[in-house]
Structure 1
């Protein structure tokens, strides 16, 4: 029981670390649905591990009704996980979430196929799952990575990467690790590279170069004709 309350204390600390709107413990305890969902999940998960099925699922349904966040009681959630706002978040049965993970509203950690067994993602430590992101399948998102808003991730993500787009594309900044300090969570999920825009920019520059060469060839052709 002491361990349970210690874990809840860490969950509250995580909110103060990552949400500048949090003012005091009472406000966090009463007004943060993400915290409510995680507390209820920790209870339902403990029952689920004891072999119960209906009661944990019933408790998780109550949590979904109260918070708008659906977490299957079989999902494994680590320490200091923060679900910000949370409406529409869905976390599947075989999902595994590490420590210091931040999940924003509308995110889905879902499965693919109908076979039993591991079918949901494993999320590493210090990961940020942005608004509306979908991570679908039994692969891992590595430590210190970020999934951009609205991205759809369908394959494994190495550590220290950002993923953006549909389907998600891995972007490594300057061929270096995205994160070099691992004791903090990088919440700048609104400042991510756009690989599609970069490709379009490259194409535009290439077209300009080709137009210059074509103009030069036409000029030379006219001079030779004269």
Structure 2
């Protein structure tokens, strides 16, 4: 099967999944959406209220902010693939539990294999922990590290900037680095031993607004 067919199959499996307790309270599972050959894959934490209602990722306030962040980076939803580490909404938007992460991990791994993105942008600490288990998001946000031949770029979840407005400028600056990271990823991983691997953090574009226009929250 080609990538699109594989993703369609995964979505069908997710829609009837009963591997963990989250299926009891879901209205719609949210397998993810986007280009089957996307160069950039965004991985969030889990669906929220609006996502559970519509069966699509990032369609609530955090999703609107994500759309604006993508636009600032010269991207559109149609250019990327967006999913979460868990595909059903945790009740009350609580954190995903370990057994729920395990239950969904096979779906995520198969999505990664099908899409084979150059860059994985993790949104929030739970998706970051899958690739960088010992990292602190406050230390590595907006930076990039080669992991198994891909650039992993941890970022704060867009919802964090809505709940903590002081983070908004940081999130905007981090997203502004994505075009530089994409160019880096296209050039391929430099020859490095594991001991030599390091994080990369290019300067944001020189014309980045110091006082960006107000972004809609709702």
TM-score, reference length from structure 2: 0.33
Structure with the higher strand share, 1 or 2 = 1
TM-score, reference length from structure 1: 0.32
Greater Cα radius of gyration, structure 1 or 2: 1
Structure with the higher helix share, 1 or 2 = 2
More relative contact order, 1 or 2 (CA 8 Å, 6+ apart)? 2
